[in-house]
């Protein structure tokens, strides 16, 4: 028997939302706020996986807003880039955090979830994502269309910030042994472009051994962003939450989403404590740079690019 989810329209922190729920999980999505997911609740563990804002109400940002001035909770999309800067084809400015996080998405129900879509007001693309609840998994199918007659370079990554703590452990495929720091002047990892062994490395500030697969103590007040320097040979990564004996696993096609980045803030960014695990289609945050170094994906001319992402939860 298929466990079809219950789908209903609700209100979440002052905004219209869509709740999807089955016997294992419940998620909440805000179509008007970049189509972002603001709750991913594990019913078996009674655990909210997504980082939550303390604000009682949310304000939808205007197009091109500075991401740091708005809510950072939940899971939104970064597309067609991450950093603010020029697009390599026509030099149009990509806003901070990309475009689609600050755009309203159209949506409609399906049997197993919902479909959302958005069209860029500036660039020649549209994106559709189909979200389905299947057992203990959230499955998302993506398709981006290019309306121009030349390939369109882009970076996509899921900006999902997770509600994690000192019991968290990150797990990645074998063979990923080196990372590059892209957070300017971090406490332990040095300047932008500094490389480190993974998972263990030496702090450039104290000389102590660090395990980058774990979270630093809150009192360190750190913020980190690094990318693995090698392409992925397997399309998965996991977050192990030892205090509740649960695991959250990402699955995605490594030929379409070949890179992996990690964001960790232990109070160093707006006083927040969360982690983002970010499989992505290009590095390092800047589409113009990614195009120059040949580490970017492209939507074919007058064609489409498809990929998928699944979040699955279960016991350790």
Angle at 67 between CA 215 and CA 257, to 5 degrees: 65
The pLDDT score that the predictor gives to residue 281 is 97
- What are the sequence ranges of the domains in the chain? 6-315
pLDDT of residue 212: 92
Average pLDDT over all residues of the chain: 92
Whether pTM exceeds 0.85: yes
Give me the residues of the chain with pLDDT under 50, please.
Answer: 1
> Can you give the pLDDT at residue 50?
96
CA distances in angstroms from 223 to 72, 130, 171, 308, listed in the order given: 15, 32, 19, 28
**Is the C-alpha dihedral spanning 166, 227, 265, 310 positive or negative?**
negative
- 26 forms bridges with which residues in the sheet? 21, 41
Q: What is the pLDDT of residue 125?
A: 97
- At residue 268, the pLDDT reads 57
- Highest CATH level, class, for 6-315: mainly beta
Question: Tokens 């999807």, residue?
Answer: 20
Q: Report whether 28 contacts 34 (CB < 8 A).
A: no
């Amino acid at each position: 028997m298929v466990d079809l989810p219950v789908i209903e329209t609700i209100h979440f922190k002052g905004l219209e939302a869509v709740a999807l729920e089955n016997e294992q999980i419940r998620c909440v999505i805000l179509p008007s706020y970049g189509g972002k997911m603001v709750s991913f609740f594990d019913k078996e563990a009674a655990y909210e996986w997504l980082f939550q804002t303390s604000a009682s109400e949310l304000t939808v940002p205007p197009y091109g807003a500075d991401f740091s001035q708005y809510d950072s909770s939940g899971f939104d999309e970064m597309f067609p880039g991450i950093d603010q800067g020029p697009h390599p084809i026509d030099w149009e400015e990509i806003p901070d955090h990309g475009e689609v996080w600050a755009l309203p998405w159209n949506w409609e129900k399906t049997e197993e979830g919902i479909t959302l879509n958005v069209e860029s007001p500036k660039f020649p693309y549209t994106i559709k994502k189909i979200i389905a609840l299947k057992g203990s998994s959230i499955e998302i199918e993506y398709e981006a269309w290019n309306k121009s007659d030349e390939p369109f370079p882009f970076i996509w990554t899921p900006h999902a910030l997770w509600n994690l703590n000192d019991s968290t452990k990150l797990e990645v495929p074998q063979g990923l042994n080196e990372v590059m720091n892209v957070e300017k002047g971090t406490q332990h990892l040095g300047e932008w472009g500094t490389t480190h062994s993974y998972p263990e490395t030496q702090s450039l500030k104290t000389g102590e051994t660090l395990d980058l697969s774990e979270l630093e103590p809150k009192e360190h007040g750190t913020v980190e962003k690094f990318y693995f320097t090698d392409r992925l040979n397997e399309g998965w990564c996991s977050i192990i939450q030892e205090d509740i004996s649960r695991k959250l696993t990402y699955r995605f096609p490594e030929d379409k989403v070949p890179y992996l980045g990690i964001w960790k803030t232990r109070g160093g960014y707006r006083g927040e404590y969360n982690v983002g695990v970010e499989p992505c289609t290009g590095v390092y945050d800047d589409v113009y740079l990614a195009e120059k170094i040949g580490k970017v994906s492209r939507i074919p001319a007058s064609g489409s690019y498809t990929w998928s992402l699944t979040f699955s939860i279960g016991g350790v």
